[in-house]
Structure 1
């Protein structure tokens, strides 16, 4: 039986790529592992941050949209991103670091049964550090030694992702009946689902909330990508999604991975993406994220694409 081993990446919108880079690499200590463009609209940057190589399950990605307005929060949206840190002492370290760097944050609290520290990036994206409490992480996750964050407290990878929807039962059916998640908690207006038993790295919190849909802008989440081992499994999921009545894009070759997209009944966009070949497909580990990398089908347009982009690192 095919099984989802956790999150793959999550994609957001930013208005300002240099500000975004400064926050995620210099303040959060994640490595920018790929500077590329949106393959469907090469006029905008697509930036990826993660561990040493941008392993599946560690990746935060951003599309730069300079004209993006503010996000108007609402329902039917992905509303918070969890990031795992090693220990409770790590939460205390980060609270002090956020105070020193003037990062908007709250007090240490409990979230989905774990100790956690909510905070926001400069564009209002809601994130939360979660105590992984010394639990094992995937063997392929590797620390980036260039991080400015103390080694004992570096962000490990993605944790619990929160989705707010108008109809909880419809989302529950998608996660459990289509994708094989297990419901581990349920109350009247909230539920928790896991793809890996007991692990936050494949966990989704679903909150039911009525009202208008969120209006996306800077600091909003575009989609959540779910991890798939290889293309054979991706073909299985493509068939499963279609059989349950969802319209799949079919398998798309993104060069760094292959993926498919579908939108569930509340309008939440999911991607399913393979682990490989990964970001070293066109770069050495040492050079990851330094230059503008383009997939082969865009390489012939490099001069045109570069002319339309504002340099990030100058």
Structure 2
């Protein structure tokens, strides 16, 4: 049996690509590694932010949907994203930075048994910074030109929080299907790790009754988990099918291959390959500086560009 080596990316909804670009590049200091479009609807931007090359486990991705209304928070949703920073001292740096830029944040506390600082972006998307203290993936590459000092830079994704009505159903999917280890349990919360002892593949599941979340701007669309290659993806496709879930089948996204399925609470998972990655149609120095399209959309470039509003840098 193969193991899941961590998160791959996480995808959200934004109302405005320019404001999104400003927040994630110039306030959070992430690199914009790819400007492309939603391959299923090329009229909307798909933006990727991450480390130097958009390594798996560092990617925050956004679909621009200008009509998006307010998110009505509830259960059966992905409800918070953890981001790892180097140390507890980094949390104090970020608290001051958030105050400087008028970013909503709480006081420094603990979350998932680590020093933490909760904050929200300009659209109410919920995050928490966590002191990594060495818990980072070896393949992550620092973006040297970030606006944030290297000693405090966001390194990649940490725990991802999911809130569901039926905790045991999701727990069974994580443990019995994907081989996650349950490392903590209370009456209404459980913590699972894909790599035991490491934060970069952690999922926190909270139990909550009530109405389901109604998504809008600042909501989370899906979490993608990593597999190393096509062979592993085919293996997991069979496992998902044997478990009784319906999947999209394997889809070639050009930058990676993946499949999608919903678990019993309705949480949408993607399983995505590590490669070929974002340098397949660009070089490291100029990633994210132009609109990149997969080959099957290149012949529509003129029409696609005509329908997209330029992003303010």
TM-score by length of 2: 0.99
Match of 1:83 in 2: 83
Deviating 4+ runs (over 3 angstroms): none
Aligned to 2:181: 182
Question: Could you say which residue in structure 2 is the equivalent of 1:66?
Answer: 66
* Deviations, residues 241-292 of structure 1 (Å, cap 9, x unaligned): 0000000111100000000000000000000000000000000111100000
Runs of 5+ consecutive residues of structure 2 not aligned to the other structure: none
CA drift of 1:138 comes to 2.2
Secondary structure of the corresponding residue to residue 299 of structure 1: helix
- 2:298 paired residue number: 299
Alpha carbons 2:12, 2:222 under 8 Å: kept:
yes
Secondary structure, in 3 states, of the residue corresponding to 1:19? Answer: helix
Q: What's the secondary structure of 1:298's corresponding residue?
A: helix
Distance in structure 1 (CA, Å) of the matches to 2:285 and 2:133: 30
Q: Which residue of structure 1 lines up, in the alignment, with residue 3 of structure 2?
A: 3
Q: Which residue of 1 aligns with 2:253?
A: 254
Cα displacement (A) at 1:140: 1.8
Give the whole-Å Cα distance in 2 for the aligned partners of 1:60 and 1:265: 25
Structure 1 counterpart of 2:29: 29
Correspondence 1:1-314 to 2 at 5 A: 1-135=1-135, 137-313=136-312
Post-superposition offset of 1:313: 3.0
Aligned residues: 313
CA distance in 1, matches of 2:66, 2:102: 24
Shift of 1:227: 0.6
RMSD: 0.7
In 2, Cα distance between equivalents of 1:75 and 1:15: 22
SS in 1 for 2:116: strand
SS of aligned partner of 1:291: coil
Q: How far apart are 1:134 and its partner, in Å?
A: 2.9
| Distance in 2 (alpha carbons) for counterparts of 1:147 and 1:68 | 30
- Look up the SS of the partner of 1:107 in the other structure: strand
Deviation for aligned residue 1:188: 1.3
Cα offset, 1:297, TM superposition: 0.3
| 1:34 CA displacement | 0.1
Q: SS at the partner of 2:106?
A: coil
CA distance in 1, matches of 2:177, 2:196: 17
Moved more, 74-83 or 126-135: 126-135
